[in-house]
Amino acid sequence: MDYERILLVKPEVFIYKIPPRTSARGYRAADWNLDKPDWTLRLRIIAKDKKCLIRLEDKSSGELFGECPVDSYPGNAVESVSDSSRYFVLRIQDPSGNALSASVD
């Protein structure tokens, strides 16, 4: 039986839908509309066996918005932002399997 361990809960995080990277220079928070987050959600970091998941959930209902499986860091799932240590870019998959890149504050 696999148990899930909750490593961190952030009751409120701001999520920004960001455009695809257009160059190899990386993501820049200054290129986003930071005063208007697209979503406000709850974030949970969960360990299950040797896997780590970042889950984004509705703050009220707990409904899954999407999750980001993290195999390694640094890696493709979680990327730093070149002009800020506050923001990170996550590769999120929603429950139907659609993927998007989003930044977390």
pLDDT at 101: 79
Spatial CB neighbours of 10, under 8 Å, sequence gap ≥ 6: 42, 43, 44
Kindly tell me the number of DSSP H helices and DSSP E strands found in the chain: 0, 7
Q: Give the rounded percent of residues in the chain with a pLDDT score beyond 90.
A: 40
| Mean pLDDT value across residues 57-64 | 94
Q: Are 29 and 37 spatial neighbours (Cβ–Cβ below 8 Å)?
A: no
Give the pair of three-digit tokens for residue 5: 């361990």
Strand partners, 29: none
Radius of gyration of the chain (CA): 14
Residues 10-58 pLDDT 10s = 999 999 888 777 777 788 888 888 899 999 999 999 998 888 999 999 9
Model confidence, pTM: 0.85
Q: Among 9, 77, 11, 6, which residue's Cα sits nearest to residue 41?
A: 11
Q: Among 40, 61, 19, 35, which residue's Cα sits nearest to residue 104?
A: 40
Give the pair of three-digit tokens for residue 34: 């930071």
| Mean pLDDT value across residues 94-105 | 80
